[in-house]
């Protein structure tokens, strides 16, 4: 492309509101040449504002490509570390599951109730507790009672939420008690309110003595912290 043609094209692009650097890159010429060719062209206030916003935007142009590249590398690193961590854990023995369950109960389990139980909004934690009960102590899901705790603004979804937790845990619907409604007014607006499933609270029936045994397990863990 001859310089005269480049100059004409540069002026056209500049009148469209493109930056000097953008034009130079497209035409494969120096920014100083484009600046000289277009120095008499005045941009509209709207075009000027757009260029200023782009200049402040860290995700625009080469910076965006660079940051996207960094993000991809970071995600690859994170995924690699997660996979390595999961591999390090491997399959738990019954003894290891027993200790994991005791530590879980120490942190999340009911301490002031008369029956053993746990409450959490993470299905994985709930199911780990259920597996602990089944594998280490022979309890069945029929030994459990469940109750969902939800904000009163989701009262109309109570049935849906119970079905969600029943599906997640395998606890039959007939073992669910009447939901507990919290009347706290949320200040935060959630983008996907239908993804809210509250907290599940489960208890082991007739487990007063079992709860006392758990206190002993926890005391054993505590003894190993000193």
Binned at pLDDT 50, 70 and 90, residue 191 comes out as confident
* pLDDT higher than threshold 80 for residue 214: yes
**Secondary structure E strands in 55-143:** 117-120
Per-residue pLDDT at 83? 94
Q: What is the pTM of this model?
A: 0.69
Mean pLDDT of the chain: 89
Convert the pLDDT of each residue in 100-117 to its tens digit: 999 999 999 999 889 999
pLDDT of residue 69: 81
pLDDT of residue 13: 86
DSSP of the chain:
--HHHHHHHHHHHHHTT--HHHHHHHHTS-HHHHHHHHTTPPPPHHHHHHHHHHHH-TTSHHHHHHHHHHHHHHHHHHHHHHHHHHHHH-SPPHHHHHHHHHHHHHHHB-SSSSS-EEEES-HHHHHHHHHHHHHHH---GGGEEEEEEEEGGGGGGHHHHHHHHHHHH---GGGBPPPEEE-PPP-SPPS-GGG---EEEEEETT-HHHHHHHHHHHHHHHHTT-
pLDDT at 146: 97
pLDDT for 185 equals 75
> Which are the contacts of 109, defined by CB distance < 8 A and separation ≥ 6?
116, 117, 118, 129, 214
CA distance linking residue 75 with residue 162, whole number of Å: 35
pLDDT per residue over 133-165, tens digit each? Answer: 999 999 999 999 999 999 998 999 999 999 999
- Who wins on pLDDT, 182 or 202? 202
- pLDDT the model gives residue 221: 94
Query: Could you report the per-residue pLDDT of 22-78, keeping only the tens digit for each?
Result: 888 888 888 889 888 888 888 888 888 877 777 777 666 666 666 778 888 999 999
| Nearest CA-CA partner of 207 in 96, 131, 122, 118 | 118
Position 26 scores a pLDDT of 85
The pLDDT value recorded for residue 59 is 62
The predicted pLDDT at position 192 comes to 81
Residue 111 gets which letter from DSSP?
A: S
Rounded-to-integer distance, Cα 130 and Cα 34, Å: 70
What ranges do the domains of the chain cover?
3-56, 94-223
pLDDT higher for 140 or 226?
A: 140
Q: Are strands 144-151 and 199-204 parallel, antiparallel or unpaired?
A: antiparallel
């Amino acid at each position: 492309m001859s310089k005269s043609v480049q100059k004409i094209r540069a002026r056209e692009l500049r009148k469209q509101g493109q930056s000097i650097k953008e034009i130079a890159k497209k035409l494969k010429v120096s920014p100083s040449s484009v600046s000289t060719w277009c120095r008499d062209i005045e941009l509209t206030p709207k075009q000027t504002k757009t260029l200023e916003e782009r200049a402040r935007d860290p995700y625009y142009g080469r910076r965006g490509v660079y940051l996207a590249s960094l993000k991809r590398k970071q995600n690859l690193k994170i995924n690699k570390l997660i996979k390595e961590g999961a591999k390090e854990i491997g399959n738990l023995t019954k003894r290891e599951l027993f200790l994991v369950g005791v530590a879980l109960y120490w942190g999340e389990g009911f301490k002031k109730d008369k029956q053993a139980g746990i409450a959490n909004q993470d299905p994985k934690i709930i199911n780990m507790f259920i597996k602990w009960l089944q594998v280490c102590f022979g309890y069945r899901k029929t030994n459990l009672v469940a109750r969902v705790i939800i904000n009163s603004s989701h009262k109309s979804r109570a049935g849906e939420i119970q079905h969600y937790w029943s599906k997640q845990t395998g606890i039959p619907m007939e073992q669910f008690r009447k939901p507990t409604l919290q009347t706290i007014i949320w200040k935060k607006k959630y983008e996907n309110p239908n993804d809210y499933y509250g907290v599940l609270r489960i208890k082991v029936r007739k487990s007063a003595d079992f709860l006392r045994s758990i206190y002993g397990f926890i005391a054993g863990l505590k003894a190993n912290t000193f």
